[in-house]
Structure 1
Amino acid sequence: MHLIKKPSLSFWQIFNMNVGFLGIQFSFGLQQTAINPVFLFLGASEDMLPILNIAGPVTGLVIQPIIGAISDKTWSPRFGRRKPFFLIGAIIGSLCLFAFPLSPALWFAVGLLWILDVGNNMAMEPYRAFVGDKLPEKQLSLGYQMQSLFVGAGIVLANASIFLFQDWFGGGDVADVAGSIPKWLYYSFFIGAFLSVATILWSVLKTPEIPPTENEMREIKEHNALSFVQRFNMPFVEISKAIKEMPPFMWKLSVVYLFQWYALFVYWQFITPLFMHTMGFDLSEAAAQSAKMSTTYNISTMVVALALVPLVLKIGSKKVYAASLLGTGLALFAIPYISDPIYVLLPMVFFGIGWAAMMGIPYTMVSKIVPQDRRGVYMGILNMMIVIPMGIETLTFGPIFKSLLGGNAVNAILFAGVFFVLAAVFSLRLNVKGEKEEKMG
């Protein structure tokens, strides 16, 4: 491992460094809350939703580790190491967000989702590594929890825009027309297209990257001297090597992620259909209610994200993580049995605490134990641990929902709650051994 002494950054420097996550997560918020309703508006059936979301797992599995490995071997005195990748990704995402509500048919929207996911994944992974590159170990927790804050803020803005625009511009009558996307949904996507680029530019212009060490620069030059075929193959070689040498802690974390992310994908896909069953809402009303749910839990995330930093230091990252996952599971057990659209928002406070932990704590732990010069590829591998469960969910949950759960969205949400409880149980395995491995790293 090539060590480099990193200066401590001020609170506002860390803030500016993470502003770009606002735009990325606005886009992600639309994927959570608006894209599945768009598919339903364009004629998809509920049991089709998992397979229609296969783009996220596939592109995440392919794009993030490859971009991470490439960025590890990249340096430009003018543009830096990570910033060119998340700027290009933001531009791709912006163009797709602008076009998405104009989709004339289901196949067009599904195709755009694939391209949007490529852009978002291209931006996401180098951004995770960017924070680890810049911060000394003592500030990693603050850096990644600041990302959690912007994760919450971006998704809050995305989802608030959905139900506010529906309230301001109406949409119930349009939503009843088969194959039609309500006009009130357009504005959220247009705002996301602007924020995707604008916030990334803020961070790019405000935050210089740390130049590579002499050893890292030598490795980059040696890499650039290789033939095109060798350079093309190198990311795959790096990914394979990194997986073989992956710290035991990450293997344990992968088990937690299997249940955690499978459950999250189920929730995002079936929370809108749930309200059509439990509250008798039409599709527009259900989409607006699910946006309110997401807004509530992401406000909770914003409030508690930085508060988790001293709590983690006091009682340990893994205990906080396990408790947060358990609280998320309990929230999902409660939601299907609350028929009031206001009271059903209360469990989302616990969901938001869990989301804050999920978006910060694992990245802090992993960033401490992986080599500086391979942080990009390992952050990409960490994302593989996210998208593989999502991929499994998209391929398996449609038949499970239809055959085993009776095609009932209530049962789908309860199923997700069980998986969160299992994730909490497996995260307890990280406690003692995981902390020892972190210290060894």
Structure 2
Amino acid sequence: MTIAAPDGVRRPKPTLDWRGLANISFGFFGIQIGFALQNANMSRIFQTLGTEIDNLPALWVAAPLTGLLVQPIIGHMSDRTWLGRFGRRRPYFLAGAVLAALALFLMPLAPVLLFAAIMLWVLDASLNISMEPFRAFVGDMLRKDQHSAGYAVQTAFIGAGAVFGSIFPWLLERAGVSNVAPPGDIPATVKVAFWFGGAALFLSVLWTVLTTREYSPEEMAAFAGPEAEGEGDAAGALAKRSFVSSALWVAAGALVLFAVEALALEKEVYLLGALLMAYGLASGGAIALARGGRGSNMLSHIVGDFSGMPPLMKRLALVQFFSWSALFIMWINTTPVVAHDFYNAPDAASPLYQEGANWVDVLFAAYNGVAAIAALTLLPLLSRRLGKARTHMIGLLCGALGFASFFFVRDPQMLLVSEIGIGIAWASILAMPYAILASSLPQKKLGIYMGLFNVFVVVPQLLVATVMGSIMKRFFPGEPIWTMAFAAGVLVLAAVAMLWVKVPGETRA
């Protein structure tokens, strides 16, 4: 039923109960199962199929690259989609879930390294197709005074899904499923976990699709009121820009490419230079189109909205950059760190390596379990008393302490204590920036802005994937433990960057 509102009258959205909040975000439970299986097991799969530790970042680059390309595009498209009773966000949830479930089924059957790398690319693209609209979906469906609760519930489902996905191979081994395999083959524990994970992903997303009804364009217009029409002309602002910034991006990319040869850097750094040049060329093309009166296209809208981000979003973007650098370092390197430094595993074919890899599944389940609990208990308590900005600073510093403790712990069982700090940071990273942003973004551009904000989730991952291998080879060969020091350091930088984030209604952090 369409809600009509008299001109100049703004109609508030209905308040949802906890069941409604849960239905909105339940699909994220399955999406995060997919991410958890990917994060905890892809290094294991790659090493089993023959790659060396120093080459892991180059293989992992598929994941952030697909996010960089997919999320702004899906955000832009979902803002402009309306398929009748199917809505505008839900079609993307379902399409991404189907593709991700297929990728999870095929991944552990990979006969060679190239096939596994391609499946990682497909899996991450599919997960991003589902994930990006879920962020905007919370803003679409909830009143501003429910945004914090909505993202907290979403974070709790993320944590719960990640616990399930991370610990499932370990539980299968305890149930008698074989955790060893011939050289070059994937253990049965991983295969079964991926297959069950694919089914769980599809069914949980289907639950959200079937139990929620999106507001129609007329209802959204009534909720937003007439002021939503005056959001500004991103294409018009883009037409006024010069080509100097575009040229600088291209020049920066060319400089990186030159540095690869001059400094004998790892070949994956070529990708970083190519991406800088590609953005410069895309930016120049968007400006040219806007100047020619053809600004109503996806490229011009995305580039224009990127350059016209609200100031609060720009400051939070720097925090995200440092935060996700630490997370990606953790996901790539925890398995080799634990296997090498805590289980003394000589190589990926060793039973000790498989034992260490399974313990990493438990560690990842632990930090995600802590995050699920913290999202519903600790973070709301701290944010009420200290504000969202200070709460996020505290969460980030807890994570830094967790990573630093890897240098002082000798018993792998005690790493569970380290995961408490990491779990608190993970909960805060998933909830606080989005709760801060949701109420300040224009409703009509919520999808594209959430997609663009996730660029600062993806770019640091690309940076880690392209340069971390070179750093480790040059300065810390055969000592993966030092990656944890980098993770701790960048989380401290993220906490410092929060000093420049001023949340409306809160005192300076």
TM (normalized to structure 2)?
0.80
In the other structure, the counterpart of 1:141 is: 148
The answer to whether 1:195 aligns with 2:265 is no
Conserved? CA contact 1:2–1:371, under 8 Å: no
Cα distance, 1:214 vs structure 2: 7.4
**SS of structure 2 residue aligned to 1:407:** coil
The answer to whether 1:393 aligns with 2:427 is no
The answer to whether 1:264 aligns with 2:271 is no
The answer to whether 1:206 aligns with 2:277 is no
Amino acid across the alignment from 1:166 = E
In the other structure, the counterpart of 1:412 is: 483
Give me the whole-angstrom Cα distance separating, in 2, the residues matched to 1:437 and 1:299.
Answer: 29
The answer to whether 1:45 aligns with 2:52 is yes
Give me the whole-angstrom Cα distance separating, in 1, the residues matched to 2:489 and 2:477.
Answer: 17
Give me the whole-angstrom Cα distance separating, in 1, the residues matched to 2:459 and 2:295.
Answer: 24
Residue 375 of structure 2, aligned match among 305, 309, 324: 305
Deviations 1:172-231 (CA, angstroms, capped at 9, x unpaired) = 542xx3311111111110111101110011111111101113796999xxxxxxxxxx99
Matches within 5 A, 1:152-191: 152-169=159-176, 171=178, 173-174=180-181, 177-191=182-196
In the other structure, the counterpart of 1:11 is: 18
Give me the whole-angstrom Cα distance separating, in 2, the residues matched to 1:260 and 1:7.
Answer: 34
In the other structure, the counterpart of 2:391 is: 320
In the other structure, the counterpart of 1:223 is: none
Give me the whole-angstrom Cα distance separating, in 2, the residues matched to 1:3 and 1:418.
Answer: 46
Residue 295 of structure 1, aligned match among 362, 365, 390: 365
Residue 277 of structure 1, aligned match among 340, 353, 361: 340
Amino acid across the alignment from 2:217 = P
Cα distance, 1:436 vs structure 2: 5.7
Conserved? CA contact 1:169–1:184, under 8 Å: no
Cα distance, 1:258 vs structure 2: 1.6
**SS of structure 2 residue aligned to 1:409:** coil
Amino acid across the alignment from 1:184 = T
Cα distance, 1:4 vs structure 2: 5.4
Deviations 1:83-109 (CA, angstroms, capped at 9, x unpaired) = 001110011000000111111011000
In the other structure, the counterpart of 1:105 is: 112
Give me the whole-angstrom Cα distance separating, in 1, the residues matched to 2:368 and 2:220.
Answer: 42
In the other structure, the counterpart of 1:335 is: 406
Conserved? CA contact 1:72–1:376, under 8 Å: yes
Conserved? CA contact 2:64–2:458, under 8 Å: yes
Bigger fraction of residues in helix: 1
Give me the whole-angstrom Cα distance separating, in 2, the residues matched to 1:241 and 1:232.
Answer: 9
The answer to whether 1:354 aligns with 2:437 is no
In structure 1, runs of 5+ residues without a counterpart are: 220-229
Cα distance, 1:252 vs structure 2: 1.0
Amino acid across the alignment from 2:464 = E
Give me the whole-angstrom Cα distance separating, in 2, the residues matched to 1:256 and 1:407.
Answer: 30
Q: How has the CA–CA distance of structure 1 residues 106 and 3 changed in structure 2, closer, same or farther, with 3 Å as cutoff?
A: farther
Give me the whole-angstrom Cα distance separating, in 2, the residues matched to 1:128 and 1:347.
Answer: 29
Amino acid across the alignment from 1:276 = A
Residue 443 of structure 2, aligned match among 372, 375, 378: 372
**SS of structure 2 residue aligned to 1:213:** helix
Conserved? CA contact 1:2–1:372, under 8 Å: no
Which of 1 and 2 has higher RCO (CA within 8 Å, sep 6+)? Answer: 1
Amino acid across the alignment from 1:344 = L
**SS of structure 1 residue aligned to 2:213:** coil
Q: How has the CA–CA distance of structure 1 residues 248 and 44 changed in structure 2, closer, same or farther, with 3 Å as cutoff?
A: same
Conserved? CA contact 1:43–1:178, under 8 Å: no
Moved more, 333-342 or 118-127: 333-342
Deviations 1:15-52 (CA, angstroms, capped at 9, x unpaired) = 11111001000001011101111111111111111111
Q: Report how many aligned residue pairs link the two structures.
A: 424
Give me the whole-angstrom Cα distance separating, in 1, the residues matched to 2:218 and 2:142.
Answer: 15
Give me the whole-angstrom Cα distance separating, in 2, the residues matched to 1:115 and 1:339.
Answer: 38
Cα distance, 1:169 vs structure 2: 3.2
- The structure with the largest alpha-carbon Rg is 2
Give me the whole-angstrom Cα distance separating, in 1, the residues matched to 2:295 and 2:478.
Answer: 45
Give me the whole-angstrom Cα distance separating, in 1, the residues matched to 2:490 and 2:311.
Answer: 23
Conserved? CA contact 1:3–1:372, under 8 Å: no
Amino acid across the alignment from 2:218 = T
Amino acid across the alignment from 1:213 = E
Give me the whole-angstrom Cα distance separating, in 2, the residues matched to 1:203 and 1:336.
Answer: 42
Give me the whole-angstrom Cα distance separating, in 1, the residues matched to 2:63 and 2:372.
Answer: 25
Cα distance, 1:323 vs structure 2: 0.6
Conserved? CA contact 1:23–1:195, under 8 Å: yes
Give me the whole-angstrom Cα distance separating, in 2, the residues matched to 1:382 and 1:407.
Answer: 35
